[in-house]
């Protein structure tokens, strides 16, 4: 008996680092098309809108499927579901390497989007095995798996330049398989829920106002993180004529800073309250988006403003997911999936909108004015909803 208890405790200690790295490489897969977008634009003569669609397509499935995978994680366990996801990702990575047309790239990009669901699995997995008083910090550390988009930004262009574009996809298979082995053999099973909920019961969280409020908040903070992470390389190439490798390295800086800020947001949520953190976050993002809109012609102003928005979005992501288990302790998986899905969708629409606006107006200014408007709305809503009610049970605010 002591042997099994010791084995479980060892796996418990390994849970956070393994799931964090597994999500990191999954996110690298999720973002693999972004650093290659300008290359594909030249290869196939794509418009800005077509290029934006290619970059955004993986975000779609990775967002929509977060809800069911969050629910399924509660039902069948994080170890099993994460392992199945990693095994599945090998298929579209192989296919994308053999793609020889824009249509085939879109086809495989759609299924590569499943990599984005790793977030819902990993967060639910970790939160279910972490004491409530440490969840904000643990989930902030776990969500550093978002660093995977930076891994893609600075590694994919170099791999493509050295070995050819197909190997940018095939090379990702190696770390995915390694993480599959680690997740399957070295993480613990989740405790089975005392009562197995039906899908309808799991979806009952849709009736709570807090569910939709947190979804909007994450739509903006994580949406900004994803949108900047996947579109910034193309944006920098368009604005300043940088090479894909140079643009990818600069975009990686945004992702790294936002990712490092995320556990800080979770920690501050534990210490001073997530609603206070979000007040500062949305005020900062509103100002940062305005600076980008009117100062993007200067690369130094653009750089400083983007890095500031990176910090704000990272803090916001950590703070939002401090509130999820706090307000929904019994329905963390379902709410994580739903909120995560909206966050992913927040990253899906902006690149497409930016491409359309660029084709229509020849400028990106309107895109960042819209971001500023959305963050201002979130600032006001946070003050209205959580100014006095953040610590109260979620069910008191059912619609």
Same domain as 145, residue 229? no
**Same domain flag for 310 and 330:** yes
- C-beta of residue 385 within 8 angstroms of C-beta of residue 278: no
Residue 241 pLDDT: 82
Between CA 145 and CA 254 the distance in angstroms is 14
Residues 242 and 174 in one domain: no
Whether residues 224 and 366 fall in one domain:
yes
Q: Tens digit of pLDDT for each residue in 288-335? A: 999 999 998 898 999 999 999 999 998 998 888 778 777 776 666 677
The residue among 314, 310, 34, 19 whose CA lies nearest residue 179 is 19
Q: Structure tokens of 89?
A: 């990702």
Give residue 73's pLDDT.
Answer: 82
Q: Which domain holds residue 375?
A: 204-389
**pLDDT at site 7:** 45
Q: Give the separation between CA 342 and CA 63, rounded to whole angstroms.
A: 7
Q: Sign of dihedral through CA atoms 186, 189, 190, 196?
A: positive
Task: Specify the pLDDT at position 8.
Answer: 47
378 and 315 in a common domain = yes
Q: Is residue 192 part of a domain?
A: yes
Q: For residue 378, what is the domain's CATH number?
A: 1.20.1250.20
Domain closes at, from 171, 196, 221: 196
| Count of domains observed in the chain | 2
Domain-located, residue 397: no
Q: Hey, what long-range contacts does 6-13 have (CB within 8 A, 24 or more apart)?
A: 8/188, 11/186, 11/187, 11/188, 12/129, 12/188
Task: For residues 59 and 152, state if they share a domain.
Answer: yes
Structural domain contains residue 2 = no
Asked if residue 118 and residue 179 are part of one domain, the reply reads yes
Spatial neighbors of 299 by CB under 8 A, at least 6 apart, are 239, 240
User: Cα–Cα distance between 263 and 266 in angstroms, integer?
Assistant: 5
Statement to judge: residues 60 and 138 lie in one domain: yes
The Cα–Cα gap between 148 and 168 comes to 14
Q: How many whole angstroms from its chain centre is CA 342?
A: 10
- The residues, ordered by sequence, that sit 6+ positions from 191 with a Cβ below 8 Å of its Cβ are 128, 129
Same domain for 181 and 237, yes or no, is: no
Residue ranges in the chain whose pLDDT is less than 50: 1-5, 7-8, 389-399
Residue 394 lies in a domain: no
Q: Which of 139, 165, 196 finishes a domain?
A: 196
Residue 204 has a pLDDT of 62
Q: Which is nearest to 366 in space by CA: 377, 376, 355, 381?
A: 355
37 SS3 class: helix
> CA separation (Å) from 22 to 178, 183, 338?
9, 8, 21
Rounded Cα gap, residues 244 and 72, in angstroms: 38
Q: List the structure tokens of 1.
A: 């008996």
Q: Which residues contact 362 (CB under 8 A, 6 or more apart)?
A: none
Distance CA 52, CA 350 (A): 9
For residue 95 the two structure tokens come to: 């296919």
Rounded-to-integer distance, Cα 226 and Cα 274, Å = 21
Distance CA 93, CA 98 (A): 9
Regarding whether 351 and 287 lie in a shared domain, the answer is yes
Q: Is residue 399 in some structural domain?
A: no
Residues with Cβ within 8 Å of 324's Cβ and at least 6 positions away in sequence, in order, are 123, 127, 214, 332, 335, 336, 339
Q: Is this model's pTM higher than 0.75 or not?
A: no
Helices 148-163 and 209-240: angle between axes, nearest 10 degrees: 30
Task: Return the structure tokens found at 116.
Answer: 């984005």
Say whether both 113 and 212 belong to one domain. Answer: no
Same domain as 157, residue 265? no
Residue 272 lies in a domain: yes
Closest CA to 53 of 341, 359, 361, 258: 359
Domain boundary among 158, 173, 196: 196
**How confident is the model at residue 26, as a pLDDT?**
93
In a domain, 371, yes or no: yes
d(CA 29, CA 93): 8
Q: 279 lies in a domain? A: yes
DSSP per-residue codes, 226-245: HHHHHHHHHHHHHHH---HH
């Amino acid at each position: 008996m002591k042997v099994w208890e010791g084995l479980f405790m060892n796996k418990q200690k390994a849970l956070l680092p393994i799931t964090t790295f597994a999500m990191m490489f999954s996110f690298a897969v999720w973002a693999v098309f972004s650093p290659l977008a300008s290359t594909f634009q030249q290869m196939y003569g794509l418009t800005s809108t077509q290029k934006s669609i290619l970059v955004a397509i993986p975000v779609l499935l990775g967002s929509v499927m977060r809800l069911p995978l969050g629910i399924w994680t509660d039902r069948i366990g994080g170890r099993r579901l994460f392992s199945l996801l990693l095994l599945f990702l090998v298929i579209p990575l192989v296919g994308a390497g053999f793609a020889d047309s824009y249509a085939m790239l879109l086809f495989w990009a759609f299924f590569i989007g499943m990599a984005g669901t790793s977030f819902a699995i990993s967060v639910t997995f970790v939160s279910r095995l972490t004491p409530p008083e440490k969840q904000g910090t643990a989930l902030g550390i776990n969500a550093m798996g978002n660093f995977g988009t930076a891994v893609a930004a600075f590694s994919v262009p170099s791999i493509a330049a050295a070995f050819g574009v197909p190997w940018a996809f095939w090379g990702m298979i190696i770390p995915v398989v390694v993480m599959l082995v680690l997740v399957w053999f070295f993480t613990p099973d989740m405790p089975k829920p005392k009562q197995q909920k039906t899908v309808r019961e799991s979806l009952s969280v849709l009736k709570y106002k807090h569910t939709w409020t947190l979804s909007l908040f994450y739509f903006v903070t994580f949406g900004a993180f994803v949108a900047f992470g996947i579109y910034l390389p193309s944006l920098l190439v368009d604005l300043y004529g940088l090479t894909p490798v140079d643009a990818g390295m600069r975009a990686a800086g945004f992702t790294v800073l936002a990712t490092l800020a995320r556990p800080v947001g979770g920690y501050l949520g534990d210490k001073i309250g997530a609603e206070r953190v979000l007040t500062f976050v949305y005020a900062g993002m509103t100002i940062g988006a305005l600076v980008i809109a009117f100062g993007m012609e200067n690369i130094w102003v653009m750089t400083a403003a983007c890095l500031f928005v990176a910090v704000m979005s990272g803090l916001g992501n950590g703070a939002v997911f401090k509130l999820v288990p706090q307000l929904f302790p019994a329905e963390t998986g379902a709410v994580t999936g739903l909120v995560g899905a909206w966050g992913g969708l927040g990253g899906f629409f902006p690149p497409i909108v930016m491409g359309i606006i660029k084709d229509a107006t020849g400028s990106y200014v309107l895109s960042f004015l819209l971001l500023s408007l959305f963050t201002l709305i979130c600032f006001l809503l946070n003050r209205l909803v959580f100014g006095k009610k953040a610590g109260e049970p979620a069910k008191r605010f059912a619609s």
